[in-house]
Chains A and B, each alone.
Chain A
Amino acid sequence: MEFSQLRSQFPALTQSLGDYPLVYLDTAATSQKPQGVIDAMSRYYQADNANVHRAAHQLSARATSQYEAVRDKVKAFINADRREEIIFTHGTTEGINLVALGLASQLKAGDLILLDSAAHHANIVPWQMLAKQTGAEIVPIPLTDEARLDQDAYRQLLARKPSVVALCHVSNVLGTVNPVKEMIAQAKAVGALTLIDGAQAIAHLEVDMQALDCDFYLFSGHKMYGPTGIGILYGRYEALDKLDPLLTGGEMIKQVSFEGTTFNILPNRLEAGTPPIAEVIGLGAAIDFIQSLPREAVRAHEQALLKRLQAKLKQLGGISLYGAHDDNVGAVAFNLSGEHHQDVGILLDQQGIAVRCGHHCAMPLMQTLGLAGCCRASLGVYSTDEDIDRFIQALKSVKELLL
């Protein structure tokens, strides 16, 4: 498989910024989109645009069948048991809010919620809202000195019989991979509900609901070469069916009168309002794109790139890397020693390098690492050795300039 040819499918990657070709190393924020995704959405608007499920006309029937076909495609993609377990959301953040707030009637004061210390704010703040509402207690699972979740501490916390364990599959800042399969099994053994934020995993790792056996798994379309505005909440049917809906109205209703309302069955019960139809169709095309690539070769390619990135950063000198392990996925977090991450970001941008600099919506992790922030370079399937070499060259210029 020739990965350099893949690049031609991504129109946004061919541009230059001033005198410099774009080097896009911000895929963890959002991936670029292949032509197939752009075309699928544009084709839908040009030929089939109609609201789904409702009207008794041919356009709506076409839109509905395309839309519902993506639900089956997602089910197969993540090896879910039933199509009703796939809920279309607007993104991972909405999905976690839907689960956390939907559990309000199942939790009570004093119940324990275990969270990932390296989590994105989207997997912290909804739980804080739930805790405030129910009186439940939040305890973060601490990190080891290697910036991995401390498994001994985790086992000790599990002895307190938590009601919920919410983890990220891959850290959005560091790229570290949590041993989620083992952690889910341990949590289930003490009767906890498990939720995995898979936003940073879905484009890079094989994600199999039967193998993971979690209660909830979430991801976003736009980080897997699909459009923004669409995400997936997978829920084990029984767990999903018990959630109170976050939003009401529209398709989620079975019967409404002023005396009372009954809700529809899954999946519609959790999908209020007109869904992002074009985005669902775009997500379907993104899954087609991922499945058109040989999975093993993609994994090897991305790991080789990450290894090169980590090694070249180390060689450059004067660079601090955070939690940079061999088995990480997709991202490297770093600082230029003694320099502010924002200065580094501004100067890289002058050279056409797109990286993210800041707290990465993971302030508790920054506090643990003792950092105001850091820079993150992240990779996609379209990234190349040349991208990495250009980035390292640019960082060398930044170093010279800041000295």
Chain B
Amino acid sequence: MNDNKLSPSTEAFTGLTLDPQEILPSFTQAANWQERYRALMLLGKRLPPLAEALRQESAQVRGCESNAWLYHREIDGRHYYLADSDARIVKGLIALLLTAVQGQDKKTIAALDLHEYFDRLGLSGQLSPSRTNGVLALAEAIKAAAVESSKR
């Protein structure tokens, strides 16, 4: 994806680290929805905003009511992503997706059950085809990027 188009630097990709062991407890241990969604918005802030030039149509993920952009790069068999959205909760949901996949290999990413993952974090329903938040479309794009990239 994004061949021959403007793309973030390799350092930008590898510079984004999201440690599940550090991140996920604030969701599994949230006392109520307010805490959970506050954690989502905080997490979203850890995704560096994409420069205006990188908010290009070729990187846009369809199926989102808000705008969302996704970049992917494979480095030594590991998959790295950068993403941004103009909606804060959607950005947090994207960051949660990336927490599950950042720096993983293709096999691990392909085997991920993201529905189970969201359910476990108390966010069931957000990864549903009937939602306009676009998280399902992003999840599919993230998986497809890993699978297709390794074919080449």
Q: Are B65 and A350 in contact (CB under 8 A)?
A: no
Residues from 39 to 90 in B contacting A, C-beta threshold 8 Å: 41, 65-67, 86-90
Known interface pairs A342-B65, A346-B133, A373-B65; A401-B38 also in contact (CB < 8 Å): yes
Q: Are B33 and A342 in contact (CB under 8 A)?
A: no
0/1 string, B3-27, CB within 8 A of A gives 1: 0000000000000000000000000
- A36 close to B (CB within 8 Å): no
Assembled-state Cα–Cα distance A347/B66 (Å): 15
Q: Give which listed residue, A357, A397, A402, contacts B88 with CB less than 8 A.
A: A402
- B117 close to A (CB within 8 Å): no
- B118 close to A (CB within 8 Å): no
Q: Are A357 and B65 in contact (CB under 8 A)?
A: yes
Q: Which residues of A contact B86 (CB under 8 A)?
A: 340, 372
Q: Are B88 and A343 in contact (CB under 8 A)?
A: yes
- A358 close to B (CB within 8 Å): yes
Chain B: interface residue total (CB-CB under 8 A): 16
Assembled-state Cα–Cα distance A372/B64 (Å): 12
Q: Are B34 and A342 in contact (CB under 8 A)?
A: no
Chain A: interface residue total (CB-CB under 8 A): 15
Q: Which residues of B contact A372 (CB under 8 A)?
A: 66-67, 86
Q: Are B34 and A340 in contact (CB under 8 A)?
A: no
**Shortest distance from the beta carbon of A59 to any chain B beta carbon, whole Å:** 37
Q: Are B88 and A358 in contact (CB under 8 A)?
A: no
Known interface pairs A340-B86, A342-B90, A402-B88; A397-B34 also in contact (CB < 8 Å): yes
0/1 string, A336-348, CB within 8 A of B gives 1: 0001101100110
Of all chain A residues, the one with the shortest Cβ separation from B88 is A343
Q: Are A343 and B87 in contact (CB under 8 A)?
A: yes
Q: Which residues of A contact B126 (CB under 8 A)?
A: 346
Q: Are B89 and A343 in contact (CB under 8 A)?
A: yes
Q: Which residues of B contact A350 (CB under 8 A)?
A: 33, 37
Q: Are A346 and B34 in contact (CB under 8 A)?
A: no
Assembled-state Cα–Cα distance A372/B126 (Å): 21
Q: Which residues of A contact B29 (CB under 8 A)?
A: none
Q: Give which listed residue, B38, B41, B89, contacts A342 with CB less than 8 A.
A: B89
Residues from 311 to 352 in A contacting B, C-beta threshold 8 Å: 339-340, 342-343, 346-347, 350
- B28 close to A (CB within 8 Å): no
Q: Which residues of A contact B65 (CB under 8 A)?
A: 342, 357-359, 373
Assembled-state Cα–Cα distance A339/B65 (Å): 14
5 chain-A/chain-B pairs, Cβ below 8 angstroms: A342-B87, A343-B87, A346-B37, A346-B133, A372-B86
Instruction: For the complex of A and B, list the 8 residue pairs with the smallest distance between their C-beta atoms, beginning with the closest.
Output: A340-B87, A343-B89, A342-B87, A350-B33, A342-B66, A343-B87, A358-B65, A346-B89
Residues of A participating in the B interface, judged by any CB pair closer than 8 Å? 339-340, 342-343, 346-347, 350, 357-359, 372-373, 397, 401-402
